[in-house]
Chain A
Amino acid sequence: METMRVNQLTANDLPWKILYNASRCTLCGSCLATCSFRAIKAKVERRRMVFSEGDLPEPRARFSAVPVIRQGTSIRDYCRGCAMCEKVCPNDAIRPERNVDTRHPIVTRCLGGDSIKRGGRKNLEGTIRTLDTLRVGRISQMTDPSLDAQRHKFDLLAPFGRILPPGRLPFIAGTDQEMSLGELTPPVSWVYPVIIGDMSIGALSWRMWEAVAMATAYLNEECGLPVRMCSGEGGVPRRLLRSKYLKYMILQIASGHFGWNRIATSMPDMIEDPAGILIKIGQGAKPGDGGLLQAGKVAEHIQAIRGVPKADLLSPPNHQGLYSIEESVQKMFLSLNAAFKFRVPVAIKVAASATSVSVFNNLVRDPYNIVGGFFLDGIDGGTGAAHEVSLDHTGHPIVSKLRDCYLAAVTQGRQGQIPLWAAGGLGKTGDLAADAFKMICLGANGVFTGKLILQMAGCVGNDMGRCNACNTGLCPAGITTQEPQLVRRLDPDRVAQNIVNYYLAMDQELKKLMAPIGNSTLPVGRADALVSTDRAIAERLKIQHVC
């Protein structure tokens, strides 16, 4: 007997197994054409059928060649469980099934001698989410009435920009109980408390990015929701830089400084200021790790926007030349503030970490009052590409960290002076309004979200290892790819519509949460409105424990 080849890869070693029912298959080939990962192949199988035709058994064999679909067994082109094949199959003849016995994490390393890279989000599920143990438990009902969510007018806005301590407002007393403002104060805009997080063109397909930009413009112009979108590192199309819609866009600068050449040269042609600048120091999904855009995704238009050749694009894990918090304040903030003549708020985004409070404390104490926002990104966020080990094992959950930062501001008596914005797995259950509201009660001024926006667009990835192939450039939903035929799968109008509708629904739901606590403005820091069913969480967050 031939020696069995134990180390030969089989479908059983891979994270997903394809279940194929040949008797239902019409051989239309749709699944093959659809699978962007080339994880399935058409094959011809030799079949042997034994039959007997007479009254007595006279077994005979018939051989035939049958075309079938088979799963590939390569560690490069393996099934990601995206279920696009299932989606297109007219006969329900094929679908992926999670393989609990997968040896993928081991065999990939053994065969490749390289770290595993992927996109998506942390894939170590386990405990129940902190936010899900919290309830809005302080209900107004008797002397302090609830409000009517439908009819009452709520001020659902959050600050973006540096807010001066009251004693430093340059007021000049006039006659007759009037005061006027003397000097210029730092720019602050009041925006919708849910910002669309920073996802770059490059990480996203141009259709996807445009759809998000379209949704943002529509929400502002037609729905009266002042939603802001952050460009992500990687530049902005010149057309948008020169349009009036730039005012809804927060431009990002990260360690690669990609796209800034184009932004700088477009400045003379800008008819509106951008909504803000976000300096990205770190990202929650892969803290301490830089950005990574694999060459496969660096299409021609990406080369143009970013001003780079076709190559792996790495944003270093750190801004070169920033050695201290003070320096980051002075150098980057001053130059970016100056670039737009102090008219545009400049904020900073960092990955949540055990040291976030120190960083925040330093910024809050900054005497120049120029840091216009502290964007804190927790471990549950998503990414276009990262090493799996970073994705799964580095990072810090957002909830307690946000609370710590807020309480640090309370200790200094400076809450609200640097607006706190939080992200990282918010809306993971699909319900962003509840998560956002709870974070606001814990001290956030607002939240930002990225991954959920992709899911609104049709991303099929999840936290249990489904898809998460954003790094490959082969996104089956046309979201994180630059392949024209894949991008064409995405209907930007439809995506924009989904995002707009989600925001409208969320807006309703936020009001439904504001009404019972009887507040017409966002209850920033109103932790007394929350209770937790988990004693340890209640203690940690300093809220009431209930059972």
Chain B
Amino acid sequence: MCRIGAIKSLNYVHPSMALQLMQSQQKGHDNSGFAMVMQDLGGIFEPYKKLPTLSMACTSEGIKLAEDILHEIGFHRIMQWSPEVNDKPGLDINAMPHYVFETFNYPRSYKKASQKEKEELLLDTRLRLRRVLEKDEEGFVYSFWPDLLTLKEIGDPRDIGTYFNLWKANTTFTAKVITAQCRQNTNYDIVRYAAHPFHLQGYTALANGENTFYLKNKEYQQQLHRGYIGFESDSQCFLYTLHYVHRELGWPLSYYKHVVTPLPFEEIDARQDRKQLLAIRQSLAHLEINGPNTIIGMLPDNSLFTCCDAKKLRPVVVGYDSETVVISSEVCGINEVLPDRNWENDIYPNEREIVVINDELEVQRWKQ
């Protein structure tokens, strides 16, 4: 089973905090992987908030292939950082030769381009890189987006932390939002792309659970957007629906819940906004999810949210103090990183709500 967690803070925090958050829940997962997405970056990435950073794990040949493509498109690299690795013997990690975090300037021809055009370029570029590197397994391109980076690896999360020197906090590698998940997806083949969190154009999602409407979701999403690819995990569907509803359709976040876990017809009928809710349920019937799951999502504006399946078959808890909010599958994770918070304020979201944390760290509970 997966365990998921997210930290959002007013201050920059180091991934060691995410490792601690997940470490205490290790009995709940199978120690088969660790993945995280960091957003609103600090440290050495702080000066480049508007510029895209490529997150990739690859071979030397992979780097070359990727750089050629980026060069051809016109991206100029202005920053490069690779974690110093500690390759001591005995670590349970299935490491790739290189981990690359590179920040680029947009091609000159995009100087006057709109934000939207740039965002489409970033997506197309990532998809192209992925396609090319996928062929001979030369690498995995996780994200290419401003102010955001992704790290994923197969192995024991503790050892992955050791390997990347992530256990010791520092100020060079930090972010204000970090989402993390432990466990490689064992339902399907072990592939790095199958590990959540997944990222697409500023949207990030991770989940603990199963989506028994996976096939329905997948068959529908495949035609909706060129970025909806892979489907290595049934949880990718949660991300694509989030992206579709919020970005493509431009609907407010509150409707996400109505799409993935629509109210029963009887309840819709009793509501004032029944026309809207019915229209949504009808038109997006194939994006409904079923089965047990908890979703954590991160939006381009750095807000964070969590919600559950319609039967609340998976746990999640939100705890906070004045500077930090933590979402976690199990409360022990929060106890670890926020031991002094007032636990009476902890929120155990129910099956019909979304808990949203905006960029000012305001925690809101929206009833579906």
Residues of chain A whose beta carbon lies under 8 Å from any beta carbon of chain B: 140, 143-145, 153, 155, 157, 159, 163-167, 169, 171, 173, 177-181, 185, 188, 190, 410-417, 517-521, 523-528
Contacts and interface: CB of A to CB of B under 8 A. Distances in A.
Interface residues of B, number: 42
A528 B215 CA distance: 7
B167 interface: no
A137 B107 CA distance: 52
B214 to A, nearest CB: 7
A227 B223 CA distance: 33
Given A181-B279, A413-B224, A140 B216 contact: no
Contact of B265 (A157, A163, A179, A414): A157
A142 B296 CA distance: 23
A171 B290 CA distance: 26
A158 to B, nearest CB: 10
A416 B285 contact: yes
A157 B285 CA distance: 12
A39 to B, nearest CB: 52
B276 A181 contact: yes
A525 B219 contact: yes
Contacts of A188: 278, 282
Contacts of A518: 212, 290-291
B111 to A, nearest CB: 31
A159 B282 contact: yes
Interface stretch (B71-79, B249-257, B336-344): B249-257
A169 B213 contact: no
Contact of A517 (B212, B249, B278): B212
A140 B212 contact: yes
A178 B273 contact: yes
B212 A177 contact: no
B310 interface: yes
Contacts of A180: 273, 276
22 contacts: A159-B282, A163-B282, A165-B283, A169-B283, A171-B251, A177-B253, A179-B276, A180-B273, A410-B223, A413-B222, A415-B219, A416-B282, A518-B291, A519-B212, A520-B264, A521-B288, A523-B213, A524-B286, A525-B286, A526-B213, A527-B215, A528-B215
Contact of B290 (A163, A167, A179, A521): A521
A144 B279 CA distance: 29
A179 B251 contact: yes
B48 interface: no
A164 B265 contact: no
B147 interface: no
The 8 closest A-B pairs by CB, nearest first: A413-B223, A177-B252, A166-B283, A528-B215, A144-B210, A177-B254, A410-B219, A163-B282
A245 to B, nearest CB: 21
Contacts of A410: 219-220, 223
B214 A528 contact: yes
Interface in B254-270: 254-255, 264-265
B313 interface: yes
Interface string B281-319: 011111010111000000000000000001101000000
B212 A525 contact: no
Nearest to A522: B285
Contacts of A173: 250, 252
A245 B283 CA distance: 29
A416 B286 contact: yes
B261 to A, nearest CB: 10
Contacts of A185: 279
A519 B215 CA distance: 13
